[in-house]
Amino acid sequence: QVHLVESGGGSVQAGGSLRLSCAASGYTYSTYCMGWFRQAPGKEREGVAAIDSDGRTISADSVKGRFTISKDNAKNTLYLQMNSLKPEDTAMYYCARGPVHYCTLVSALFGYWGQGTQVTVSS
């Protein structure tokens, strides 16, 4: 069974930092595109960042320069380093497993999802 478990969320003041982690199990972790997504109440799910099997990354314009996605294949763990946090970053953050042969921020192309971790940024 594929399991993805996020951790590291919490409450932080604007300008602060958090690092989210996603522990993966049940599959060959390094083979897949892995992504972070977020969803705030009343808004559509938004792709945040993704990383492919070669370590190449893509990120949304809204977080570019502030968030960094990375992974540790030996630990089967995905990370999202979040710096210079803004109130508009407040959302539930999810990690997800995507395609094998390409990477994307289109949520419909990701088949397995974690339970989410809440990030709240206060002004």
pLDDT in tens, the chain (123 residues): 899 999 999 999 999 999 999 999 988 778 899 999 999 999 999 999 999 999 999 999 999 999 999 999 989 999 999 999 999 999 999 999 999 989 999 999 999 999 999 999 999
Are the beta carbons of 47 and 39 closer than 8 angstroms?
no
Q: Could you give the C-alpha distances from 112 to 36, 45, 60, 103, in angstroms and in order?
A: 12, 15, 20, 14
